[in-house]
A and B are shown apart, each in its own frame.
Chain A
Amino acid sequence: KQEVTQIPAALSVPEGENLVLNCSFTDSAIYNLQWFRQDPGKGLTSLLLIQSSQREQTSGRLNASLDKSSGRSTLYIAASQPGDSATYLCAVDTGNQFYFGTGTSLTVIP
């Protein structure tokens, strides 16, 4: 069974700092990996989708990388802002199911 781990569980940084969130998975046989943002009590918003053949994807201040062989993905957030405060989840798609990590709760301090 695929297991997805996100470290750290919580992170607090001052505004303007660049930061990296980590996601690891145990089975490299994946179709894609998706990063989401979740605000408290809300649904999940898709941030970036990386297909298994890709190494990275970028959207604005966000950059996600994927290393299938080592079972790792990172989400890089540049010049963090208080509005980036949320929980960030990664999910791997095995073709039949998505498996989610438990998320990293990010707080950006003004």
Chain B
Amino acid sequence: DADVTQTPRNRITKTGKRIMLECSQTKGHDRMYWYRQDPGLGLRLIYYSFDVKDINKGEISDGYSVSRQAQAKFSLSLESAIPNQTALYFCATEASPNEQFFGPGTRLTVL
């Protein structure tokens, strides 16, 4: 079984809809991250969490929110999706401070 899983793997939604992307990990790491990847822009940090009670904004947090439900779960929400949020979204974990381990990604399309 994969150490970091993301659901759904693919999602197509319409402008204005609320959508949640979920991430689960079995690595026992405290630190978790959400990134988006766009062609030519690399990976950009949306939010990160160093433990269950800790939430921090990243470079591009506007239009997104997160919830750290447990050490193993970190969810990303788009409150009202817009087309420029179409991207590949990655969740990652880190044993602090050390390597990051990535999930397989969620491809989100907002029409």
Size of the chain B interface, CB-CB below 8 angstroms: 24
Question: Which secondary structure dominates where chain B touches chain A?
Answer: strand
From the candidates A43, A45, A49, A100, name the one contacting B42 in the complex (CB within 8 A). Answer: A100
- In the assembled complex, the Cα of A45 lies from the Cα of B102 at a distance in Å of 7
Chain A residues lying within 8 Å of B99, measured Cβ to Cβ, are 34, 46, 49
**With an 8 A cutoff between CB atoms, is B26 at the interface?**
no
From the candidates B41, B90, B107, name the one contacting A44 in the complex (CB within 8 A). Answer: B90
Instruction: Give min CB distance, A43 to chain B, whole Å.
Output: 4
From the candidates A42, A91, A101, name the one contacting B100 in the complex (CB within 8 A). Answer: A91
Known: A43-B102, A93-B97, A102-B42. 20 other contacts (CB 8 A): A4-B42, A32-B97, A41-B88, A41-B105, A41-B107, A42-B105, A43-B103, A43-B105, A44-B100, A46-B101, A46-B102, A49-B99, A89-B42, A89-B43, A95-B97, A96-B48, A96-B56, A100-B42, A100-B43, A102-B40
